[in-house]
């Protein structure tokens, strides 16, 4: 082969093999990063940031000045000897009361903090949703692998039973029973395939941007619950919980609105400059105007703002109680799932697997019945499914703990 042919073959091999080598299994952190980058939620976050900045600028801005200009024709009376054009112009500026302007600026700043806290909580919710979707797909694929292994075992049992029935070593009813068991296992496998497809579809839809057609994932099982981490999360709950942070931001905003309403009692100052040119004289004037709060002292606005702040305070206290109760319930569920998963992994599943292997060898040797073999197979399959379910339940419990408790580092420091 010529050098040119070798070069073309090498290039074709690189083009075909390189994409396969580049498509590494997708892990949880990489998938979460894709969702947070491509989901429309990211654009909403940028819009919220722009809105917060605009609200701050608007609250701190000064009123626009007012420019007035008039002109006309005049004639002196009574003799009418003098006539000509008269004109005047004026410039008026409203100077906000200093405390009112600072209160509005403070209110806008705290209102922006509330919007950012709500957006942060929604973004955290999206991250948790993507984690749960990833764990669901991982669990569904593992369940499908179990179903395929169970189908292979059922096929092997049917083959052995058929051979023994043909030799007269087993009853024909055993062959029918083995066939029925194979059909039941195949039905479970089809259900597992549908669940895996649905989980992958949800994963792709949540990612928004296209994922590889043949999607391979790498998932670590949810970590077990430790008393130290739970206690650390419990102590930092008031600072890390998105619900509490949002409620506190809402309370601060409403308290600032009370100050805004109270500061509106202070009068704004109007300053006006007027210059006029008449047919017989020219004049100018400088005037000041102050609104006297005699009849309307913003009582209704102050009362409404104080009532809103009282409501926000009551809601905050109720939220504290509800968050604590929900956190303890989630911890109990996580501990139960963790204990169940540990028991299944260390005792029940290994015992069921050893029993299945022993009974299968005994059945192949003709020392036990088909019913004992099928019972051992179902026991093993049920134990393995319970192990997968417990792992998914533990993942869900961790998601609920993090939804209530917020982002938290295992070291005990809030991220």
| Dihedral angle of Cα 123, 399, 313, 46, to the nearest 10 degrees | 0
DSSP 8-state assignment for residue 411? T
Residues 6+ apart with CB under 8 A from 407: 124, 240, 414, 415
Give the integer Cα–Cα distance in Å for 69 and 86: 11
Residues 6+ apart with CB under 8 A from 265: 293, 297, 298, 302
Judge whether 30 lies within some domain. yes
Check: CB of residue 224 under 8 Å from CB of residue 344: no
The whole-number pLDDT of residue 105 equals 82
Taking the alpha carbons of 164, 165, 171, 173 in that order, is the dihedral positive or negative? positive
Alpha helices in 208-270 (DSSP H): 227-235, 237-240, 242-263
Judge whether 8 lies within some domain. no
Judge whether 18 lies within some domain. no
Distances (CA, A) of 193 to 56, 190, 197, 376, 381: 53, 5, 6, 24, 16
CA angle, 228 then 403 then 200, to 5°: 110
The whole-number pLDDT of residue 293 equals 66
Give the integer Cα–Cα distance in Å for 181 and 378: 10
Token pair listed for 35: 């969702």
Check: CB of residue 91 under 8 Å from CB of residue 66: yes
The whole-number pLDDT of residue 82 equals 64
Strands 217-218 and 26-27: parallel
Judge whether 361 lies within some domain. yes
The whole-number pLDDT of residue 2 equals 45
Strands 26-27 and 66-75: unpaired
Q: How many CB atoms lie within 10 A of CB 123?
A: 18
User: Residue holding tokens 């989980």?
Assistant: 199
β-partners of residue 70 are 88
| Dihedral angle of Cα 120, 125, 127, 129, to the nearest 10 degrees | -170
pTM above 0.85, yes or no: no
Judge whether 310 lies within some domain. yes
Helix, strand or coil for residue 284? Answer: strand
Residues 6+ apart with CB under 8 A from 374: 157, 177, 178, 181
Residues 6+ apart with CB under 8 A from 5: none
| Dihedral angle of Cα 11, 12, 15, 20, to the nearest 10 degrees | -130
The whole-number pLDDT of residue 226 equals 85
Distances (CA, A) of 132 to 25, 90, 138, 359, 403: 18, 66, 10, 38, 12
Judge whether 16 lies within some domain. no
Closest CA to 324 of 237, 197, 198, 232: 237
Judge whether 112 lies within some domain. yes
The whole-number pLDDT of residue 287 equals 84
Q: Looking at the 3D structure of the chain, how many domains does it have?
A: 1
- Residues of the domain holding 357: 25-73+84-405
Give the integer Cα–Cα distance in Å for 359 and 374: 9
Token pair listed for 345: 């992994």
User: Residue holding tokens 């599943």?
Assistant: 349
Strand 66-75's sheet: what is its strand order?
Answer: 66-75, 83-95, 269-277, 282-290
Full pLDDT tens readout for the chain, 415 residues: 443 443 444 444 444 444 444 568 898 889 999 998 888 877 788 888 888 888 777 777 777 888 888 887 766 666 656 677 777 888 888 777 777 778 888 888 888 888 888 888 889 999 999 999 999 999 999 999 999 999 998 898 888 888 888 888 778 888 898 899 899 999 999 999 999 999 999 999 999 889 999 989 988 877 788 888 888 888 888 888 999 999 999 888 888 888 887 777 777 788 888 888 777 778 888 887 777 666 666 677 888 888 988 998 999 999 999 999 999 999 999 999 999 999 999 999 999 999 999 998 888 888 888 888 889 988 999 999 999 999 889 989 999 999 998 887 654 344 3
Check: CB of residue 331 under 8 Å from CB of residue 400: no
Taking the alpha carbons of 216, 222, 223, 229 in that order, is the dihedral positive or negative? positive
Helix, strand or coil for residue 267? Answer: coil
**Residue 142's CATH number:** 1.20.1600.10
Q: How many CB atoms lie within 10 A of CB 37?
A: 12
Judge whether 348 lies within some domain. yes
Q: Which residues of 298-329 are buried (b: 16+ CB within 10 A; e: fewer)?
A: beebbeebbebbeebeeebeebbeebbebbee
The whole-number pLDDT of residue 332 equals 92
């Amino acid at each position: 082969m010529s050098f040119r042919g070798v070069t073309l073959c090498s290039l074709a091999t690189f083009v075909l093999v390189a994409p396969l080598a580049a498509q590494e299994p997708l892990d949880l952190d990489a998938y979460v990063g894709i969702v947070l980058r491509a989901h429309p939620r990211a654009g909403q976050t940028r819009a919220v940031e722009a809105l917060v900045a605009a609200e701050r600028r608007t609250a701190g801005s000064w009123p626009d000045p007012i420019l007035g200009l008039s002109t006309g024709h005049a004639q002196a009376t009574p003799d009418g000897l003098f006539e000509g054009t008269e004109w005047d112009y004026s410039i008026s500026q409203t100077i906000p009361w200093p405390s009112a302007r600072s209160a509005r600026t403070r209110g806008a700043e705290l209102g922006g903090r509330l919007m950012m806290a709500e957006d942060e909580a929604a973004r955290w919710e999206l991250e948790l949703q993507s984690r749960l979707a990833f764990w669901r797909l991982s669990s569904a694929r593992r369940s499908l692998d179990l179903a395929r292994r169970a189908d292979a075992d059922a096929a092997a049992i049917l083959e052995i039973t058929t051979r023994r029935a043909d030799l007269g070593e087993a009853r024909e009813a055993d062959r029918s029973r083995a066939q029925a068991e194979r059909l039941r296992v195949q039905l479970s496998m089809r259900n597992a395939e549908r669940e895996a497809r649905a989980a992958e579809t949800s994963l792709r839809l949540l990612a928004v941007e296209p994922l590889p057609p043949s999607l391979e994932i790498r998932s670590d099982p949810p970590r077990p619950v430790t008393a130290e981490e739970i206690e650390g999360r419990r102590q930092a709950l008031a600072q890390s919980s998105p619900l509490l942070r949002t409620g506190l931001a809402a309370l601060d905003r409403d308290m600032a609105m009370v100050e805004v309403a109270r500061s509106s009692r202070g009068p704004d100052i109007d300053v006006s400059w007027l210059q006029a040119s008449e047919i017989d004289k020219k004049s100018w004037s400088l005037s000041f105007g102050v609104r006297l709060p005699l009849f309307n002292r913003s009582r209704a606005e102050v009362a409404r703002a104080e009532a809103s702040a009282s409501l926000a305070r009551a809601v905050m206290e109720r939220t504290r109680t509800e968050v604590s109760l929900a956190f303890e319930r989630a911890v109990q569920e996580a501990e139960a799932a963790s204990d169940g998963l540990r028991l299944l992994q260390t005792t029940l599943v290994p015992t069921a697997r050893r029993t299945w292997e022993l009974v299968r060898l005994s059945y192949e040797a003709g020392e036990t019945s088909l019913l004992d073999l099928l019972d051992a197979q179902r026991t093993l399959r049920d134990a393995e499914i319970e192990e997968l379910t417990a792992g998914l339940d533990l993942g869900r419990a961790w998601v609920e703990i993090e939804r209530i408790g917020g982002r938290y580092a295992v070291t005990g420091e809030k991220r």
